Structure 1
Amino acid sequence: MQASIAKFASKEAVIGIVGLGYVGLPLMLRYSAIGFRVIGIDIDVGKVSSLNAGQSYIEHIAGEHVAKARSSGFEATTDFKRVGECDALILCVPTPLNKYREPDMSFVINTTNAIKPYLRAGQVVSLESTTYPGTTEEELLPRVQECGLTVGEGIFLVYSPEREDPGNPDFETRTIPKVIGGHTPNCLQVGIALYEPAIDQVVPVSSTKAAEMTKLLENIHRAVNIGLVNEMKIVADRMGIDIFEVVDAAATKPFGFTAYYPGPGLGGHCIPIDPFYLTWKAREYGLHTRFIELSGEVNKAMPEYVVGKLMDGLNNNGKALKGSRVLVLGIAYKKNVDDMRESPSVEIMELIEAKGGIVAYSDPHVPVFPQMREHHFSLSSEPLTAESLASFDAVVLATDHDRFDYELVRTYSPLIIDSRGKYRAPEANVIKA
């Protein structure tokens, strides 16, 4: 154990990061920047080729940072045999839901199976993927033990949930506190040694289960509160009250209130998904997480609510949705990023198309609609001009990127369905959704 800790303290350790996406890539850059040799492993040949060429495939991560890491010794590979060279293996792989809204653990299990033949004494394995409490013990532990080493003595196992907020300039990998739980006290000490050089504040907890539950609580907290304010939005709208004005006013209270704002639904790789990891696991204990599931139902219904407002607005203009040309403004899941995962904008587009509308989109961060597992549109981003806006029957403001010219949109759009509260003053052509 002490030899492993000393390697991290002296930065002689080789860091292996498995999964080079929105979580793994920033982590790689941080370790490389502070002097560690980093090996990145990913099954995506295209990602590996881009990184080895010093290029980034994530908009908010500059290619020059990747190029600098390459010049400092970072290399990407699809070869899992390279696992043996690493002193730490940090697993940053997806944990989506299947079509039954149950955890899909295939990426975690397949990755663990892939590294298992090459594990050796002195290594630490850290899972960062968001998952249900018990995953590290139930899925990783038995597989790591199959390498013949005793966990906590010959090899070390920890769970440290990722915390990333893409597009937020106020936080970076270094400044976001890192929660970590170890399978044994020795595992925890080695895990702390792994993260302390790279992260300003490491927060140890008593077990991997506690660390897994911490991540779920963080995201369930957001999901429930967003569900609450989305439900309040519907009530306020029926009463003729602007919910955004109400939230702003409530936010002046200096204690006991945190401002959450409504929107067209939940997006991203965490908040729409993570709560269901706990609801699924709770059933094993005979528990029904009604509060969490109710918020999920409210948030899931938001795209249909927005499309309902669109249909009302078109009807007021003497038009049906069928045959109308509708521009969806912003299709990334949050402002100022290119991340499309679980974006409610895409569901809005599908609902419009299913009801006979002719849908298009404009997003400066997504020039071409990407290939997605479940959603298919052969579209490119429309330019925002006075002529193009006037040619659409309606504009649905779904993601409020800073790069949009909102005054241009307001001036030339016949109808705007505003799901983000960008237009606070009453406007004849704006319907709040």
Structure 2
Amino acid sequence: MKDVAVIGLGRVGLPLALAFADAGLEVIGVDIDPARIGALREGLMPFEEPGAQEVLDRVAGRLELAEHAADAHRARHIVLTLGTPAMSHIEIDLRQIRAVLDDLLPHLREGHALHLRSTIAPNTTHFVAGYLRKHRGFDIGTDVFVAHVPERIASARFFEEISTLPCIVGGVGERSGEVAAELFERLGAPIVQTTPVQAELAKIWTNILRYTTFALPNLLMVDCEQYDANVFEVIDLINRDYPRGGMRLPGLTAGTCLRKDFAFSEERSNAPGMLLAVSRVNESVPLFLVQGLKRRVGSLEGRKVAVLGLAFKSDTDDERDSLSYKLIRMLERELADVAIHDPRVPTPTQSLEDAVADADAVVVATNHPEFCTPEALGQIVDGARTDALLVDPWNCWGAATVFAHTDEVVVLAGLGAR
């Protein structure tokens, strides 16, 4: 019998499977995507994750690949890293989890352990335990083991954080937490035992905290536009030498975790609407940028707007739930001619030179390090129209202005006139 199977080889599951194999465990990796399985069989990472390709090269002999969830029963530990989207009715979508459970049910036997790694709504771990009890009669915590072991690692930091961030374990029944700890302690992180629902809440509210924290400067940015104030100067005034400051900078706040996880609390909230308001603030940033453009340059019909960045955040190739796409759609609805550049994402885009050539406006949608250099700014200034507007909610070059003409940005960034 193998040591562990990981079902779902996405950005959470695949690095985890590699880490288990790198710790000396025999691993089965399961995914229904033939392209992803094909890439792995050729020894290639299907997405960007710093350090992952080197680990894959090391552990190929200890990672067996499979395309059917039922194959996971050949391992004692089964880790589920499946998609758990939120439905449009503010409701968790458990279809992927239920489908995998149905595939596994005939094959489970005493001694198996199921660990939920995906972000889930409160009481989902107990639902899974009850599902196994209802359909197979297992005594959870004695016959088989069920736990929630949430993943809280930042995108592109897996191998940096997997051995250092505290590993929360919420087990059902007498021994589930101990069994889960036996597996995850192999990765080196300190284990923190708790109840399943507290593990679920800790994960959800980790993301809600970040989503809310980023909404505040985004709302402040909108207020500053209304009052003709500079958001970056106001944030500096809030934070400078003040022990109770801490206001973050504005930007396009999105990604699969942050955009959906608030719904897992909102689904049964006793204060409905609070987190929906947070979401509306963050979701309104693309509209704010488009409206700001129109106020300064007039109609966008037939004007070329270069959008820099498709990834949902800096320094990653992950495009899932990126607000860049919403921004692009809104620009297209204004009949603008949109050019796109992102050097990291798998979606084909134009070169930076082609994207900014003769542009009437350039919007920094993702603050990739490649964009935030004097060289990139110089390329934008040289390629775009002389009076082009540069929209930079991230303050990429330290010019401390969301909307400014390119030559103004050069001066404000302290790079001298061009």
TM-score by length of 1: 0.86
* Paired position in structure 1 for 2:294: 311
Note if contact 1:39-1:75 (Cα within 8 Å) is conserved in structure 2. yes
Note if contact 1:16-1:41 (Cα within 8 Å) is conserved in structure 2. yes
Deviation at 1:169, TM superposition (A): 8.3
Change (3 A) 1:367 1:395: farther
Equivalent position to 1:428, from 387, 405, 412: 405
Whether 1:99 and 2:84 are equivalent positions in the alignment is no
Deviation at 1:55, TM superposition (A): 1.0
What is the rounded CA distance, in whole Å, between the counterparts of 1:252 and 1:87 in structure 2? Answer: 54
Whether 1:224 and 2:201 are equivalent positions in the alignment is no
* Paired position in structure 1 for 2:259: 272
Whether 1:70 and 2:53 are equivalent positions in the alignment is no
Q: How far does the alpha carbon of each residue in 1:190-209 deviate from its partner, in whole angstroms, 9 at most, with x for none?
A: 1111211113211111x111
What is the rounded CA distance, in whole Å, between the counterparts of 2:296 and 2:169 in structure 1? Answer: 50
Q: How far does the alpha carbon of each residue in 1:287-314 deviate from its partner, in whole angstroms, 9 at most, with x for none?
A: 2333222211111111111111122232
* Paired position in structure 2 for 1:238: 226
Deviation at 1:254, TM superposition (A): 7.3
What is the rounded CA distance, in whole Å, between the counterparts of 1:249 and 1:181 in structure 2? Answer: 42
Note if contact 1:132-1:281 (Cα within 8 Å) is conserved in structure 2. no
What is the rounded CA distance, in whole Å, between the counterparts of 2:381 and 2:240 in structure 1? Answer: 29
What is the rounded CA distance, in whole Å, between the counterparts of 1:249 and 1:326 in structure 2? Answer: 32
Whether 1:359 and 2:338 are equivalent positions in the alignment is yes
What is the rounded CA distance, in whole Å, between the counterparts of 2:4 and 2:236 in structure 1? Answer: 45
Equivalent position to 1:350, from 329, 333, 340: 329
Note if contact 2:364-2:394 (Cα within 8 Å) is conserved in structure 1. yes
* Paired position in structure 1 for 2:316: 337
The equivalences for 1:27-176 within 5 A come to 27-61=16-50, 62-71=52-61, 73-143=62-132, 145-168=134-157, 171-176=160-165
* Paired position in structure 1 for 2:9: 20
Note if contact 1:16-1:90 (Cα within 8 Å) is conserved in structure 2. yes
State percent identity of aligned pairs: 27
Note if contact 2:364-2:391 (Cα within 8 Å) is conserved in structure 1. yes
Note if contact 1:125-1:158 (Cα within 8 Å) is conserved in structure 2. yes
What is the rounded CA distance, in whole Å, between the counterparts of 1:411 and 1:312 in structure 2? Answer: 24
Deviation at 1:170, TM superposition (A): 8.9
What is the rounded CA distance, in whole Å, between the counterparts of 2:158 and 2:6 in structure 1? Answer: 24
RMSD: 2.3
State the one-letter code of the partner of 2:336. G
More deviation, 358-367/411-420: 411-420
Deviation at 1:52, TM superposition (A): 2.0
Note if contact 1:59-1:338 (Cα within 8 Å) is conserved in structure 2. yes
TM-score by length of 2: 0.89
Deviation at 1:216, TM superposition (A): 1.2
More deviation, 151-160/190-199: 190-199
Q: How far does the alpha carbon of each residue in 1:130-161 deviate from its partner, in whole angstroms, 9 at most, with x for none?
A: 12101111244323552332111110000111
Provide the secondary structure at the position in 1 that maps to 2:155: coil
Note if contact 2:304-2:361 (Cα within 8 Å) is conserved in structure 1. yes
What is the rounded CA distance, in whole Å, between the counterparts of 2:65 and 2:356 in structure 1? Answer: 44
* Paired position in structure 1 for 2:390: 416
Provide the secondary structure at the position in 2 that maps to 1:50: helix
* Paired position in structure 1 for 2:248: 260
State the one-letter code of the partner of 2:7. V
Count of aligned positions: 398
Change (3 A) 1:310 1:138: same
What is the rounded CA distance, in whole Å, between the counterparts of 2:82 and 2:144 in structure 1? Answer: 21
What is the rounded CA distance, in whole Å, between the counterparts of 1:135 and 1:367 in structure 2? Answer: 34
What is the rounded CA distance, in whole Å, between the counterparts of 1:171 and 1:249 in structure 2? Answer: 34
Change (3 A) 1:342 1:147: same
The equivalences for 1:345-424 within 5 A come to 345-368=324-347, 380-385=348-353, 388-404=355-371, 405-413=376-384, 414-424=388-398
Note if contact 2:306-2:355 (Cα within 8 Å) is conserved in structure 1. no
Provide the secondary structure at the position in 1 that maps to 2:368: coil
Deviation at 1:337, TM superposition (A): 0.6
Provide the secondary structure at the position in 1 that maps to 2:306: strand
Provide the secondary structure at the position in 2 that maps to 1:21: coil
What is the rounded CA distance, in whole Å, between the counterparts of 1:279 and 1:355 in structure 2? Answer: 33
Provide the secondary structure at the position in 2 that maps to 1:273: helix
More deviation, 122-131/144-153: 144-153
Note if contact 2:162-2:189 (Cα within 8 Å) is conserved in structure 1. no
Q: How far does the alpha carbon of each residue in 1:173-194 deviate from its partner, in whole angstroms, 9 at most, with x for none?
A: 2222211101123111111112
Change (3 A) 1:403 1:424: closer
Listed as ranges, the gaps of 5+ residues in structure 1 are 1-11, 369-379
Listed as ranges, the gaps of 5+ residues in structure 2 are 413-418
Equivalent position to 2:279, from 296, 305, 324: 296
Deviation at 1:408, TM superposition (A): 2.2
Change (3 A) 1:157 1:367: closer
Provide the secondary structure at the position in 1 that maps to 2:136: coil
What is the rounded CA distance, in whole Å, between the counterparts of 1:302 and 1:129 in structure 2? Answer: 28
